[in-house]
Structure 1
Amino acid sequence: MRERQAFQDARRAREFEAFVAGAAGRLLHAATLLTAELPDDNPRARALLTDALAHTYATWDRLRGEDPYDRARQQVAVRFARGAWRRHRGHGGVLERLNPQERLILVLRMYEGVAEEQTAALLALPTERVQVICARAMARVLHPPRGPAPPRALSGTAPS
């Protein structure tokens, strides 16, 4: 009996290690986008990923055909959403101009390719609200606010 349990535990560990080897990089990138940290300095993203992977490992035997990547991605998103509204301001990342909800929806929709309906269900929002937030976030990323205009020479004066 102990040998069988040890064999099952070893098999579970190998399966999970193979999953992490294939998925951790992409999940870390998604978490880094969410936290709006720099790729080389992303402690909050690493903590999100670690917590999500720990939860995925703890429930590994109960996945029953469910995609472990979807489960881990869902955990990253849920864990970010639970604490992000209060404390996740951008720190130099590419999406730092966005608020946490905009980042979450944009990353799920555009980077991860999660359908609007799934994103809405995950975040307990109406699909239409997800559409509006995603469109606003895309506009803010694609058309950032301009800085102040350069000073113009007054007419009738020669430039120096």
Structure 2
Amino acid sequence: MRERQAFQDARRAREFEAFVAGAAGRLLHAATLLTAERPADNPRARALLTAALAHTYAAWDRLRGEDPYDRTRQQLALRFARGAWRHHRGHGGVLARLSPQERLILVLRMYEGVAEEQTAALLGLPAERVAAICARAIATALHPPRGPAPTGALSGAAPS
């Protein structure tokens, strides 16, 4: 009986390790986009991914045909959404100008390719709201607001 359990535990660990080897890079990139950290300095993204992977591993035997990548991505999104108030401003990442909700929807829709209806169901929002937030996030990401006007010689000040 113990040998059988040890064999099952080893098989489970190998399957999970293979899943992580194939999916962790993409999931870490998604988490990094969510937290708006720089890829080389992303401790919040790594913690978010670790928690999501731990949840997936704990439920590994109960997945029964469910896609582990989808399950982990859902956990990543839900954990980010629950703790988003702590991650309001990014830390120099490419999506730092976006709100946490805009980052979450943009990453799910555009980076991960999750359908609008699935994103809406996951976040408990109407699909129309998801579409509007996604459009606003894309516009902000592609056309960030301009900063203040430059000072000095270009602003009409006399050279010294």
- Give me the TM-score of the superposition, normalised by structure 1: 0.93
Which residue number in structure 2 is paired with residue 87 of structure 1? 86
TM-score when normalising by structure 2: 0.93
Partner of 2:71: 71
Equivalents in 2 of 1:94, 1:17: separation in Å?
30
Structure-2 residue corresponding to 1:140: 140
Equivalent residue number for residue 96 of structure 2:
96
Q: Counterparts of 1:20 and 1:79 in 2: how far apart (Å)?
A: 18
> For residue 4 of structure 1, what is the aligned residue in structure 2?
4
1:50 is aligned to 50
Match of 1:105? 105
Percent identity, aligned pairs only, is 86
| CA distances 1:97-150 after superposition (whole Å, capped 9, x unpaired) | 000000000000000000000000000000000000000000000111122345
Query: RMSD in angstroms over aligned alpha carbons?
Result: 1.6
Q: May I ask how many residue pairs the two structures share in their alignment? A: 156
Distance (whole Å) between structure 2 residues aligned to residue 5 and residue 67 of structure 1: 24
1:44 deviation in Å? 0.4
Structure 1 segments of 4+ aligned residues over 4 angstroms from their partners:
none
Gaps of 5+ in 2: none
Code of the residue aligned with 1:70 in structure 2: it is D
CA shift at 1:153, angstroms? Answer: 5.1
For the residues of structure 2 that align with 1:152 and 1:99, how far apart are their CA atoms?
A: 32
